[in-house]
Every structure is written in C-alpha cells, then in structure tokens.
Chain A
Amino acid sequence: MEASVLRKQLNKWRDVARQLLGGKLGSLIESGRTDRERFSKSNSNPAVFWVLVRKEISDHVRSWRFILLLAIIFLTCIASLYTALNSLQDAINSQDGYSEFVILKLFTISDGTIPSFIGFVGFLGPLLGIGLGFDAVNSERNKGTLSRIMAQPIHRDDLLNAKFTASLFIIAFMFITLGLLVLSLGFVIVGLPPSLEELLRIFSFLIVTIIYIGFWLNLSILFSVRFRQPATSALASIAVWLFFSFFYDMILKLVSSGLAPDASTATVDDVVHHVDFMMNLSRLSPYTLFNEATSTLMMPTVRNLGPLTTDQIYGAIDSPLPFGQSLLLIWPQVVGLIALTLACFAISYVIFMRQEIRGRS
C-alpha cells in the first residue's frame, strides 16, 4: 500500500520534471538508457529497502543480545562519568591549558580506577559492532530464510545494505543518545553550559565513534558472509578485535626493540625516523586511529600526534587548538577509518553478490 503510493508520487514528479525540461532532453535521457537500466528502473522499489531496514531494527532492538550489550555499555559509561565527576575538581584546577573545557573533561578524565568515557567507547564499541553484525547473513542462510527473502521481488543487495544500514542506525542512535546523556548529566551536575566549540568537538567525536564501530560492524558482516557458521564469524571478529586492542601494541614493541637504532651512535634524525616509522606501523590498527582521533578531538591542547623536536616547540604557546585545526590534524585518521569501513563493506558486498543462494540444504 505504502509502496504503491510512493511509486505513484515518484512517477508524478518524473512527469512534472520531464515536462519542465522539455521533450527533447527527456528523450535524450530515455534514449541514453540501456535495456537493463530500464528494467531495473521499472522494477525498483525504494520502499522495500526501508521495509527491510525497519524490520532489521525491530529485530535487533527486541533481541536479548542488543539489550545486554546496551546494558554493558550504558553501565560502564555511567561509571566512567561518576569517576570523571569525582576527579573533576582537580582537573579544573590543574594548569594543563584546557581547564576551560569542563564538559570535555567529563569525557576524558578518570581517577584511575575505571577508564574514561572515551577509553570505554574505544574498547567496548567494537564489541557492540561485532555483536550486531557477526550473524547478519549466515544465520539467515542457516535458518533458510535467506532464500525466502530472495524469493520476494527485491534486489539482492538491498538485503545486505539494509542489514548494514539498520545496524549502523542503531549504533548511531545509541551513541548519540549516550553522548548527549553524559553531556546533559554533566551539565546538570557541574552547572556549566557547554560552549559551541565543546559541542562541535563532542559531536564530531560521536561521529568518529560511529564510523569506528561501523568498521567493526562491516568486518563482522564480512565474516558472516564468508563463514557459514555464526560461531566462526563471531570468533574471527573477536580475534581481530583482540589482536588490534591488545596484541598489536605488544608486537609493535617487540619489533620496535629489534629495529631501534643503537643508542650510542644514533643521531637525532635516526631516532625521529624510527619513532615516525613505528608510529606509522601502529596506525595500521583502527584502534590506534580511533584513539588518536578521539584524543585530539576531546583534548584541544593536543597539537601534534608525532614526535616533536625542540625547534618546533620553541616559541609555541600552550594554548588549545581551534576546532577546525584539530579536525584537520586528525583528518587522515578519519579518512582511514572511513576507507576501512567502506572497503570492508565493498568486499562483503562483492562476496555476497557472487554467492549462490539455495534453499535449506
């Protein structure tokens, strides 16, 4: 019902546009199309995609898995907010150059017992993404529902797109809610309104977080497309997550100690070169990219991510960077995260489109 109404509306607009543009241009557009395009156009039904998205969202929201993940993240974030409020007094009095960003401090400081808000998000966010995506396709396949959906007049990629969009939508909704919750609680407890700069920083932090979790979501969807068993894809995703969260740093330390220039003979350039090289290696990890991006966004005094020479520090004022400059500083990291996310999506898309879909075998 809804779909037909929409299609009528679309046809009406197309007719209006054709009239406005004139018959000549219209015929040009018409003649430029191939048969296949004409077929997919007449067969296209945008409403179907949103029906699928809506269904996926409702499935997720009602599942125990989502409620558990939500509870874990919600509790840890409240705990980190509590510790932040405990140590806020000291943090405001400290002379670290950004004492005026009180609301930002709520996200970044902790008293040492529990990690800060951004620490928790960087650590637990991937788990949420993995939890929402690891059985996206293979469970449907195992239940035999995949072929049933495919029997409907929908495009095959609509299914994958809808699964991705629905999960990303849930993640976005959840983290924006969480961020605003911390923001408003801090506002109520501290009594200071956030400045525009702080709001911009918090929102870009939330967007970077969503992109980051979107990467893990896509990775787990990729595994769910590739592996038949949900348990395998879940384990594979968690393995990657653990690798980048814990082991990658350790491995890098080993590599670093092996590659480090001899302390007695090394020049400053050698050392700087080595540190730069190790830093670039560690930036292969999305976890590092996310940490650099969020710490720069949430701590305005961070001016540089690499090693600094005294030449660069001499004459510099310890002042917070403007938001635009912070964003410019971490733009490569953000681009990297977006690229990783989209690359994972593209790979899973290609694999999914090439797979054979049969009935329950």
Chain B
Amino acid sequence: MKEINWSQFWSTFKKTYSIYLVLLALFIVCSFANPNFLSVNNLTNISTQLAVTTILAFGQTLLIISGMLDLSQGSVLALSGVFAVSAYKATGSFTVAIITGIMTGIVCNILNAVMVSTFKTPPFIATLAMLTMARGVALLFTKGQNILQLGDFTVLGQGSIGFVPIPVIFLIIFAVITWYILRHTKFGRSLFAVGGNEEAAVASGINVHKVKYTAFIINGIFVGMAGILFMSRVNAGLPNGAINYEFTALTAAIIGGTSFSGGIGSAGGTLAGAFIVGFLDNIMNLTNVDSYMQQIIRGAIIALAVIYDIRSKNRRTKSTLGRIEDKGSRRKGKGKGITESHK
C-alpha cells in the first residue's frame, strides 16, 4: 500500500484552501475579540453590507482572470442606480427599474470593451475614462442632487425572504453564477486561457475579442444589479454614491487569491476575500478602532495579500522549473547511459 506523504498533502491543502483557513482563523479571533460579533444579527448584517461590493468583486474576478480590470465600477454603479431609481419613480415598475439599471451597466461596459478590445487601450486607462464619464452623466442627470422618496423600491435592498435579507440572496445567486461560469463553461476556460497567455490563446483558436466583450458584458450585468441594490439599501438615488467601491472590490478579489497577472482566480476565493475584509471592518467598528488606524490596517492587509500572491507564484514557477530541469537531467542521464552502453 502506498504511504501517505503528509508534507506533500499539507502543502497541496495549504495551496488550495489557505484563504479559507485565514477566514476561519479571523472568524475565531473576532469571536473572542467582541461577544457581539457572533450574534446572528451581526453576521446577517455583515453579509448584507458585503453584498454590493462582493457582487462587484465577482465582476472584477472574471476580468482580472482574463488579464483586465474595471476601475469604473463605482461610477457605473452610481449611474445604473440613479437611472433605475428614476425609472422606478416614473413607472412604479420593478421590472422596468431592474432592466434600466442592468442595461445601463451593460452599455457602459460594452464601451469599456470597445476601448479595450477593439482599440487596444490598456484596461486601466479605458476604464479610468469610463469612471469619469459615468460619474459625469450621473451628476448631469441628477444636477448633483440626491433622488429621494423611493417608496417600495427599498424592498430590494432592505427586505428579507424569511430570515434571509434579499441582498444576501442576490449575493448567493451571483456567487453561484460566477462559480459556474469559471468551473463549468467553455467561456470560463477561455477566460483563464486569455489571461494566462493571450498569444497562446489566439494560437489555440480562442476568439479573444469575443471573450473580452463577454467578460465586460457580464461585469456590466453585475454592476447594474449592484447599483439597484445599493440605491435601494440607502433609500436614495445618490449620484455621488459608491465612490472607490471598485477598490474595495479589487481588494476582495486580490485577497481572495485572484492574480493580477491573469489566469488565476476563483469565485470561492473572492467570496472569502470579501468576508475577510468585511469581518475586519466589522470588528474594528465593534471595538471602536480609530478611523485612521482602520485605513492603515486595511492597507497592510492588501500589501500582505499581494506579497503572498507574488511569493507563492515564484514558488510555483521555481517548482515547475525544478520539475522541468529534473526531467531534463533524467532524460540526459538516460541518453548518456544509452550512448555508453553502445560503446
């Protein structure tokens, strides 16, 4: 019988599940740090608060895996949200509001895709341009003023089905969609291929344009829906809302192990990353940690996550190189032996 190599098992386990171990450890530490942390109310609260940024983070995950990113998420969210709110106020229909919000997200992201894929603009610059434009349109449309009195529209962001808040239900739906796309679809595999090595993806017959457009369109749907939930939750159409949310989303994705170099990432990792950030924010507020200190801690966590990402990638590259060299030398050895035996 083959003996179990525990050290190898542990290293594989660590590589695959380390993010969940970190989340578990943090959960335990937080439970001891403040007795209120473990209350059902507080945990529901954290999940509701995280819904919007985590849905955005799923959008970022799809884009980062394929070697792109979206800096316009916060602005497009605000634009989708104020359009959806206005549509609801004008028609009183949830369907019209949701379609308006999602279509706004899609249109903005098609423009992002045009800039990135058709005109080959770096995603950083293209989406930065969209960040400014979308915010400008939201402000122009509302004349810089908040839209008030949303009436029943708040149900989406503040209501519950049973004891589960509606935003959390949306969070679960979007998590499953992202997981399914990445693990079980040809498009998901193409995302990894394009992000891993674009030229190789082209050579293997993948339609890179189509993959990039689709990734942005899916991101648009996510951002549009996040906008609707956000405005509904705060009970107002805020043209200035969700500033810097793209960075919170990027943080969740990166902490969750999505690699900025592309080709690596998962829905579960991003979800765990979002909850790590959420638990930290929550415990710092429960224990009344100073505002400035909170910023420092958040920054340090991102730095640690990125360092970990780079180190583990180097280790992986080294071990792959090691394996290749090892195989190479064995082949050489074999070759030598053959030659020698011929002698």
The answer to whether A and B belong to the same complex is no
List residues of chain B with CB under 8 Å of any chain A CB: none
